[in-house]
Every structure is written in structure tokens, then in C-alpha cells.
Amino acid sequence: MSPTGRCRSGAGRDIGAPPAGVVALFVAVVFALVAGACGGTGGEEEGAPIGNAGVVEDDGAAQPGGRIVYGVGSETDGWNPSNSKWAPAGNLIARTFFDTLTAYDADLVARPNLAERLTPNADYTQWTITLRPGVTLHNGRPVTAQVVKENLEFLKASTLTSSAFEPVESFATAGELDVVVTMKRPWVNYPYALATQIGVVADPDWLRSGDNTNPIGTGPFTFVEWIPDSKLVVRRNPNWWRTDASGVRLPYLDEIEFRPIPEPESRGASLEAGNLDLMQTTSSGQIKQFGDAGRRGEYQVFTDAGAESTEVFIQLNTMVPPFDDPDARRALALATDTETYVQVLEQGLFEPARGPFAPGSRWYTETDYPAYDPAAAEELVEQVKARSGGVFRFEVLGPPDAHALQGLQLLQQQWKEVGIEMTIEPLESAQLITKVATGDYQATLWQQFASPHPLGDSIWWHPNTAKPIPEIALNFARNRNPRIGDALDRARETTDPDEEVRLYQEVQRELAADVPYIWLYHTRISVVAANNLVNVVNHTLPGGERGLPLQDGAHPLWQVWKRS
């Protein structure tokens, strides 16, 4: 879905009326297809629509107190934003103990959040972040300009997050609550970067300690304990800086426990047994099953159909054989029958993909991405084999769950029919991420690109982030196309919305020509909740705007309350 309500700020105005575009620079290494993150069987007829069902919302007086248990599909490697990698489950949990300086409203526009306002100079080469007075960290330390400056400087120096700060020259303080950010060149959309992992505010001493297990932030809940692969518990922050319309200090809930449950069937069974109050899922079977139950009033189902979709695809390493050969990449695309894949694996629920944007997106454009054509694939395969000793063989990495394996076996058969040999290597998430980030792979099953605005995905596509192997690279496909880099840079600097769209369409066309990704389908991360929870995704920002309900399956929890 496309953003609406696009506002613009003039020089010297704060982002109550923000500049065009949404920068969502996700610095998390999002692989998201961890064990059990996708798939499932059962449900309704093929092609059933995706949407909300059984929603319970109430703008009246809340009932404070209570405890909930939230089931997520994967564990996270830590909570330090400078060195931890937050996939959808990680982003959900991090929002309990961290606040971001800005946040998205329901129209996909970044608004002030922990920051009171953000003000550019005339040419967008300098931004002033003005903080809200009276905010404290969980350890009681006041949040000042110096604290935020130290956060930003530390993240700018981090190996994981430094690429997101490439346009930034320096940070300085101007009084107790103003941070001045100086750019190397204009960055019109800078406030939108601060709605992501690089926009959280933590205790600077904790950041520098290297600890990633005991987070100290400003968020609505404080960290209590974390037993990896078992549970993480947070407790109500009695000193959080937000109140509701009646002046009641938020959040409403006393405690939240998050449980990583990789297998979707086990997660769903736990919810049905009453052991969970909420869960995340991308299982087509579960979305259908619980959607039907939601229409009967038994559960609530929320789907991020109003935001940009996440894409599922085979990611190719363009720096190693056989995919350093463009013909090999193109042959693989020509040999992939995505229509059959979606019907067999996802019951026809999701839309086959030909690029990083679905046709309903305002950024979408038609491209020359190779359509399924096995005869043409066979011809290219023979050419590739003639240049590589008579073989076209490679390995695909993937998560070790049954659904992912079924999908890879289907692709294996499709590719075998045109003369391509593929083997499958299941890996646990931590090992898979390490291999991909360091370039130690040929191909992998992957899921990414759900940023509310394409600038948020630019870090994954820019040639500057395609480092030589074995350096850590955020351009995981290591696709070095200078035309993509030029279009992304110009899109970040333009103040013309139409030019912005045109430039991102140019990026899509270049990606279609390069074929670093074998697109499979556009998916959605849904949340299923018990029907005694109120306002699961219904929230407002500090300025009164309605907040974005779901962002790649993540949502705030400060507004949720539990009916007795």
C-alpha cells in the first residue's frame, strides 16, 4: 500500500510537517526466515483475502494491570543496538525497553516521538534534534543532548550500524536538549532513519560496555530477565514519560513475558491452550485458520496489509561462482515457477513477486525481470556450463524447518528439469546469518525489504555496502551496480516526490537486470491475540497522530490492556 498524507517541511520548520519520503534504515540484519517463521497447512479456500478480523478496540477508560505472554518465532542475539541483529521478533521486544527518536504514523510519515521536534536548515545539510524535557533512562539518568550525542556517535562507529551513518559528518550539542547533526551532503529524509534501530536511546555507558543482555533504555517497560531460547520478561516502567488522555501514566500492563517458539504449529497450539495471549505468524495456514476464528469472535487477527510487504526470495552471492556470472542468475530466474511455488507452499494466499514492491505500492513499476520460461532457461544453462567445465551446481542455505525444506525441494526439482544441480544445507539462524554477512555462501532462502519507504532498504542495495569477502557486508548479495548507488543517493537528496518515485523505479529496473534475487512472493507478518486484549495495535503518537499499527509484525505494547 502506498503512503498517504505526505507532508513537506520548509527550511527551519520542524517535522510536524515532515519532508517527503520515509527513511527507514533498518540496520538490523533481517533474515526473518528463521526456523518456523513461515508456512503451515489447513485453513480456508485458496486465495482467501488477508485482513484484520475480530478486532477489539476501546478509546474509553482502560483497566490497568495484568500480565501477558507473547509467543514469537525466533530468538534474538542480543539487545545492544550497536551489535545486535533485530529481526521482526527482536524489533517487537526492543520496543518495550527502548524508545526511538521518531516513529511512524498510520500514513507512513515519521513523527516526533522521544524527540520533541526535528528542524532542518535551508538546504538539509544540518538537522537539530530537540529532546523532550524530563525524560529519564531506566537507571534514573536524565536524557540530555549529551546522552543522545554519545549514542549517535557510538552507533556511527559500530561495524554493524556505521553504514547507515555514511552521509553524516558530525554531531554536536547546543544547550541541554538540542543535538545538531551536520551532514556531508543534503539528507532530506533524515528524521525517518531515527524511527529504526539507530534511533533508539540507551544509556551510553551501557552501550560502550559491550553488554547486550541487560538493556537500559527509556521505554515503557524495564528489563527483568532473559533466559535465551526460553523467555524474556519486562516490567512496567513507573516513570515512563507518556500518559493517556485522562492523565493516567502509561503503560497499562504490569508485565510481559516473551517466549521464542520456532515451530508455528506449537505456537498456535499454545495460543489455543491459553498458554499465550498473543503470537506472531507468517504461516499461511494459521492466518487462514485464525482469521476464520476471528470472524466468529474467538480471536483477534491483525495483518500489516497497510504497510509495504516483505519479500521472500532466493538471495544470490554475486561475488562467487556460479552467480558471479549474470547468465547463471538469469537462468535460475527463468527456471523458477513462482505461481506453482505459491500454490503448493502457501495455498495461494500470497502474491507471487517480481521485485521488492507489490503492484499495489506507489513505488512499484513494471520491469524486465525474467518470467518463467524453462526453454529459455535450458539454453542459458548450456551456455553457463560451456564456460564452467560442463557443470551448473550450487548450494542453498536455509532454516532447518520442514516448511522451508519443502519449498527448497520444490525449487530443486524445478531447477533440475533445466539442468541445474542444487543441494540444500539447513542451518540454525545464527550460523546462517554469519555466513551470509561474511559472504560465505552461494545462495540462501531469505526474507527482507519491508521498509515503509524504499530509502529504508537502500542500505541493502547500495554498492557502497557490498564489501569484499570476507568483510561484513549489509549488501548481502554483494551486487555492485553504480547506477543503483547513484539513483539511491539522488533519491535521498531530492525534495520532489515525483522524482523520488522515478528514481526508485530506476533502482527496480537495475535490480531486474542484475538478478541478485530470485523473487518468490510478497508475504505479511500477522499477529493473533486472545479476544480479552484491548487495543493490541491501536495506538497514538505523542502528537496525537494514529500510529502505524504493524511494522513488519512489530507494534508497541504500552497501550494494550486486559479485560478481566
Query: Can you give the length of the chain in residues?
Result: 564
Q: Quick one: pLDDT at residue 307?
A: 72
Q: Quick one: pLDDT at residue 283?
A: 86
CATH of 310-523 given 3.30.420.40, 3.40.1160.10, 3.40.50.300, 3.10.105.10: 3.10.105.10
Looking at residue 307, its amino acid is: A
**Strand positions, DSSP E, 365-477:** 393-398, 421-426, 443-448
With a CB cutoff of 8 Å and minimum separation 6, the contacts of 289 are: 42, 43, 268
CB 32 within 8 A of CB 200: no
CB 181 within 8 A of CB 174: no
DSSP 234: E
Q: 3-state SS of 148-203?
A: HHHHHHHHHHCCCCHHHHCCEEEEEECCCCEEEEEECCCCCCHHHHCCCHHHECCC
Cβ count near 17 (within 10 Å): 11
Q: Which helix (H) or strand (E) holds 324?
A: none
Q: Quick one: pLDDT at residue 28?
A: 35
Cβ count near 221 (within 10 Å): 25
Q: Quick one: pLDDT at residue 162?
A: 86
Angle at 186 between CA 183 and CA 188, to 5 degrees: 110
Pairing of strands 67-72, 255-260: parallel
Q: Quick one: pLDDT at residue 305?
A: 64
Q: Which pTM value belongs to this model?
A: 0.84
For the CA atoms of 162, 164, 170, 175, the dihedral, rounded to the nearest 10 degrees, stands at -110
Residues in the chain predicted with pLDDT less than 70, given as ranges, are 1-50, 305-306
With a CB cutoff of 8 Å and minimum separation 6, the contacts of 24 are: 104, 192, 193, 195, 196, 451, 452, 453, 455, 456, 457
Q: Quick one: pLDDT at residue 306?
A: 65
As a whole number of Å, the end-to-end CA separation of the chain is 36
| CA proximity to 85, closest of 196, 190, 230 | 196
